Amino acid sequence: MPHLPSHSSPLTCSSTLFITLILVCSQPNRSAAAAAAANATGRHRQMSLDYYTKSCPQVEQLVASVTSQRFKEVPVSGPATIRLFFHDCFVEGCDASILISSKPGSKELAEKDAIENKDLRVEGFETIAKAKSLVENRCPGVVSCADILAIAARDFVHLSGGPYYQVKKGRWDGRISMATRVPPNIPRANSTIDQLLKLFNSKGLTLEDMVVLSGAHTIGFAHCEQFLSRLYDYNGMKQPDPMLDPKLLKALRMSCPHYGGNKDIVAPFDVTTPFLFDHTYYANLEARLGLLASDQALFADPRTRPVVQDLAKDKQKFFQAFGAAMEKMGLIGVKRGRKHGERRRDCSFHE
Ligand code: HEM
């Protein structure tokens, strides 16, 4: 059993501390799925790899100069941005609506202020703001925030050791950002496989896509509250989750007490290689080292287990499938044209 290495023991959220530590250390619901896929395909046709060839040919290099610097200086920007992209795409589509700030004094909060998004790290938002400002300097009013987010997420996957895949561009930024639209569209740490499948299928993603995309949990961290019930009171039984490895249970309990713990403490998803984008996530699930109940459920459920076992064996297969699934996720609900969208100069505010 892989041991919890000292540098991957639970950490606190402070960025400075992170830097120091990092240095040392079913069938789809047919109608919904078909509609989502058709939607994506229609607009997908208008998206292309060379969308900005004339208007901003250096956009990918500009974004890359920011992502590579952030990767070195603030490594948590990687997982933060990848998760930000996921949360953007699942609510209103990949349209950068997650980046909009709530209007001061308004009763209606924006997406980013929904409870489900409260743990999205600021480092992801900062990375996109920096990239956008560099791009705006060179090509004012041309490149959408949504495309910058898609490119930056891809860059971080690759910088962390994961696959490089192409990002089609041409997304416009959405105008709708409402906190109330978040809860039904973002999965929870204790979601069942049935609930997860229903949600992913409703976005036009398959069971395989879901297991593959969950492999993003090969990097990054989760707060104690996301898995606390697994440590002490699983399903109200006053017992730990029997599907959690006893040594990992002990290590996690030391950092995450049942009551009164520090709310900022986080634990790595992948206890063996927490900073490397690899396929160890799946072998960890086989070894009962999944951090969230929803991670471990992918191995427990007979529908998803074969996919987990397959990916655990074959890194190349995972990389190829992950790139393809990210491309597919990146096309969910894309907005095209002035009727549906805008191009924001500052990603956090409507024009
Ligand atoms: C399958 C359903 C999923 C569930 C239930 C889920 C849930 C979670 C939770 C609870 C956290 C920890 C948040 C915190 O405590 O700060 C998290 C983190 C993360 N998730 Fe997911 N997630 C899912 C799928 C995905 C997908 C599809 C992606 C990307 C493709 C993704 C990428 C990430 C990343 C990179 C982190 C680490 C963030 C960081 O360290 O800042 N997740 N997820």
Q: Which domains does the chain have, with CATH numbers?
A: 6-26+190-326 (1.10.420.10), 47-186 (1.10.520.10)
Residue 312 pLDDT class (50, 70, 90 cuts) = very high
Cβ(266)–Cβ(15) below 8 Å: no
Q: How far does the centroid of ligand 1 lie from the alpha carbon of residue 295, in Å?
A: 10
298 close to 211: Cβ distance less than 8 angstroms: yes
Q: Which pLDDT score is estimated for 178?
A: 97
- How confident is the model over 171-188, as pLDDT tens digits? 999 999 999 999 999 999
pLDDT of residue 229: 97
Give CA–CA dist 152/78, Å, rounded. Answer: 9
pLDDT at 31 over 60: no
Q: Residue 137 CB: number of other CB atoms within 10 A?
A: 9
Q: How confident is the model at residue 45 (pLDDT cuts 50, 70, 90)?
A: low
First to last CA, the chain: 54
Measured by CA distance, the residue closest to atom 17 of ligand 1 is: 222
Reported as a pLDDT band with limits 50, 70 and 90, residue 275 is: confident
Give the pLDDT score at 86: 98
Q: Are 268 and 8 in contact (CB under 8 A)?
A: yes
Instruction: Evaluate if residue 121 carries a pLDDT over 50.
Output: yes
CA atoms within 13 A on the CB side of 211: 27
Which amino acids bring their CB within 6 angstroms of ligand 1? 76, 79-80, 82-83, 86, 119, 121, 187-189, 191, 196, 213-214, 216-217, 219-223, 226, 292, 294
Residue 96 Cα to ligand 1 midpoint, Å, equals 18
How many Å lie between the centroid of ligand 1 and the Cα of residue 179? 18
φ, ψ for residue 59, nearest 5 deg: -55, -45
Given a cut of 90, whether residue 33 has pLDDT beyond it is no
CA distance 136 to 129: 10
Looking at the chain, the whole-number percentage of residues with pLDDT higher than 90 is 83
- Type and span of the H or E element at 22: helix 15-23
Q: What's the pLDDT score for residue 95?
A: 98
- Sorted by sequence, the CB contacts under 8 Å of residue 27 that are 6+ apart come out as none
245 CA from centroid of ligand 1 (Å): 21
Query: Atom 24 (ligand 1): residue with closest C-alpha?
Result: 214
Q: In whole numbers, what is the pLDDT of the chain averaged over residues?
A: 90
Question: C-alpha angle 130/134/137, rounded to 5°?
Answer: 140
30-34, 48-52, 194-198, 297-301: range with lowest mean pLDDT = 30-34
User: Is the predicted pLDDT of residue 26 greater than 90, yes or no?
Assistant: no
91 is in an annotated binding site: yes
| Annotation marks residue 87 as catalytic | yes
The residue with tokens 């023991």 is: 9
Q: What pLDDT is attached to residue 39?
A: 53
pLDDT tens, residue by residue, 3-18: 333 333 444 433 323 3
**Quick one: CA dihedral 121, 122, 128, 134, positive or negative?**
negative
* Ligand 1 atom closest to residue 266's alpha carbon, by position in its atom list: 15
CA distances from 75 to 15, 48, 120, 140, 220 (A): 9, 30, 15, 28, 10
- DSSP state for residue 328 in the 8-state scheme: H
- Pick from 214, 276, 318 the residue to mutate for probing ligand 1's pocket: most ligand atoms within 8 Å of its CB: 214
pLDDT tens-digit series, residues 80-106: 999 999 999 999 999 999 999 999 999
Q: Distance between CA 282 and CA 263 in Å, rounded?
A: 28
CA atoms of 234 and 133, how far apart (whole Å): 46
What is the residue with the minimal CA distance to atom 34 of ligand 1? 83
According to the model, what pLDDT value does residue 23 have?
24
Helix or strand run (H / E) with residue 196: helix 193-202
